[in-house]
Amino acid sequence: MIANIVRTFYRVAMSESVTTERYLEADPATVWEAISQPERLGDWLDAAVDVEISEGSEGTIVFRDRGEPSVVLVETVDEGKRLVFRWATSTEAPSEVSIDIEPITTGTRIRVIERLLPQGQVSRHSAAACAANLVCTA
């Protein structure tokens, strides 16, 4: 049984991240709106999103199935193409999420990659982001 867990684990661990992809019928502009407008983003994340989608901005996301807010730091916004942010709660390890969209003949391809962050990475930081272990060194 343990051997099975180990082998399942290797497959995913090779990439050190989780990748999820969908082909959507909507055009890229429509998909980008659903990603970059906090309220619409919250609709499909199933969460209350309180963060401005612009580089360097900081805020919170509260998932409806979990009480505890995630601290969020927006890292990259490439209009219409790419959004990268970091998030963490006080109990869940910090990770980085990148969302890429790309036009295809039938609509849009969206690819989400979430990867765990090494602890204590250096960057811009506030007390909240630091407390959530997102962006400060000890």
Partner 1 sequence: MTDRSAALAALADPMRRQLLDLLTDGGPQTASALAGSFEITRQAVSKHLAQLEDSGLIHRASAGRSVLFSVDPDALRDTAAWLSLTTLRWEQRLDRLSAMLDGSE
Interaction site with partner 1 (CB under 8 A): 2-3, 5-6, 8-10, 12-14, 16, 18, 20-22, 24-26, 30-31, 34, 40, 43-46, 93, 95, 110, 112, 114, 116-119
What are the b/e assignments for 18-48, b being 16+ CB within 10 Å? eeeeeebeeebeebbebbbebeebbeeeebe
In terms of CB distance, is 117 or 128 closer to partner 1? 117
In terms of CB distance, is 33 or 50 closer to partner 1? 33
In terms of CB distance, is 6 or 56 closer to partner 1? 6
Least distance (Å) from partner 1 to the CB of residue 116? 4
In terms of CB distance, is 30 or 123 closer to partner 1? 30
Residues 6+ apart with CB under 8 A from 6: none
Least distance (Å) from partner 1 to the CB of residue 40? 8
Least distance (Å) from partner 1 to the CB of residue 11? 9
Residues 6+ apart with CB under 8 A from 56: 73, 74, 75, 124
Least distance (Å) from partner 1 to the CB of residue 132? 15
Instruction: Please give the Cα distance from 88 to 13 (Å, whole number).
Output: 20
In terms of CB distance, is 19 or 56 closer to partner 1? 19
3-state class of 6 per DSSP? helix
CA-based end-to-end distance of the chain: 38
Token readout for 59 is: 């805020």
Q: Which residues pair with 110 in a beta bridge?
A: 22, 101
Least distance (Å) from partner 1 to the CB of residue 122? 15
